[in-house]
Amino acid sequence: MKGFLQYIPGNSILHQLSPITKLALSVLLCACAFLSSSILYISFLLLLVLGLSAMSGIGRSALQIFSLLLKLSLILFLAQIFFIREGDVLVRLPLNLFITDEGLAFAILIALRLMLSALPLALIITVTPMSDLAGAMVQKLRIPYKYAFALTTAIRFIPIFSTEISEIIEAQRARGVNFDTKNIFKKIRLILPLCLPLLVSSIKKTEYIALSAEMRGFALRNRKSGYKSYAFKGRDLIALLAGVFIIAASLLINLP
């Protein structure tokens, strides 16, 4: 999980777009995922997103997030596929379970929708520094800085927590705890005590962050406080037009 959901510096178009454009584009893609009910079109958009990421040098993170989403959507897929009983039966299974063609199509659609709606949002994090995301949200979307800060801090904490957990596990291994056991119950019993140091350190960390933000004049910050401006450039316009085109296409095109 190294580097998961972490900003990767770069100079690609995706990096250069305004954070607001990127947010808007991912919202548009998310909308497409639910407006279109074409498996082909949604797959095409997914491929487009993955292709763009590869071109922007974040292909590896994109694949990492994609494979995580794939696992999640597999659960969704399995949950759906047996519940739809209309259509022609394709496969009959024991326990009166069967898979129909409509069920299969719908389950695939749901899984693809989940992936397309989450992937671009997750990818924003890898191509946008958190401070820019927060800054642009405050300046352009007029979101109070408090909330923008809370959101970006929460996202920033994901990789911090994952390293923290691995360091705590390392410390316990140093004391002689053997985590290599195959027995799942034994493993849970070993990992449970680790929640304590993690909990303590995260509560402490949030307290320290709140204090240190307070000390540095957090409350004084207003909308004009950012030292960067997030101008809307020509490339943002083009990107947004492309987004609008994609969403229009999702309404107009009637692919299977």
The contact mask relative to another protein for 166-185 (x = CB under 8 A, - = no) is -xx-xxxxxxxxxxx-----
DSSP state of 52: H
Cα distance between residue 97 and residue 49, in whole Å: 36
Least distance (Å) between residue 9 CB and another protein: 15
Q: How far apart are CA 75 and CA 96, in angstroms?
A: 20
Stretch that binds another protein, among 7-15, 122-130, 191-199, 235-243 (CB under 8 A): 191-199
Q: Least Å distance between CB 168 and another protein? A: 5
Q: Are strands 89-93 and 97-100 parallel, antiparallel or unpaired?
A: antiparallel
- DSSP-derived secondary structure letter, 218: G
Task: Determine the interface stretch with another protein among 95-103, 135-143, 192-200, 226-234 (rule: CB under 8 A).
Answer: 192-200
Alpha helices in the chain (DSSP H): 13-16, 19-35, 39-55, 59-81, 101-127, 130-140, 145-174, 184-191, 195-215, 234-252
What is the nearest approach in angstroms of another protein to the Cβ of residue 186? 13
Return the number of other C-beta atoms located less than 10 Å from residue 230's C-beta: 19
Cβ closest to another protein, residue 173 vs residue 223: 173
193 part of the interface to another protein, by CB under 8 A = yes
Q: Is 57 a residue that touches another protein (CB under 8 A)?
A: no
Separation of alpha carbons 188 and 190, rounded Å: 5
Q: Which is nearer to another protein, 196 or 242 (by Cβ)?
A: 196
Closest CB to another protein among residues 144, 193 = 193
Q: How far is the CB of 180 from another protein (least distance, A)?
A: 6
Distance between CA 65 and CA 50 in Å, rounded? 10
Calpha distance 36→42 (Å, rounded) = 7
Counting residues that bind another protein (by CB under 8 A) gives: 20
Binding mask 132-171 for another protein (x = CB under 8 A): -----------------------------------xx-xx
Residue ranges that bind another protein, judged by CB under 8 A: 2, 167-168, 170-180, 193-194, 196-197, 200-201
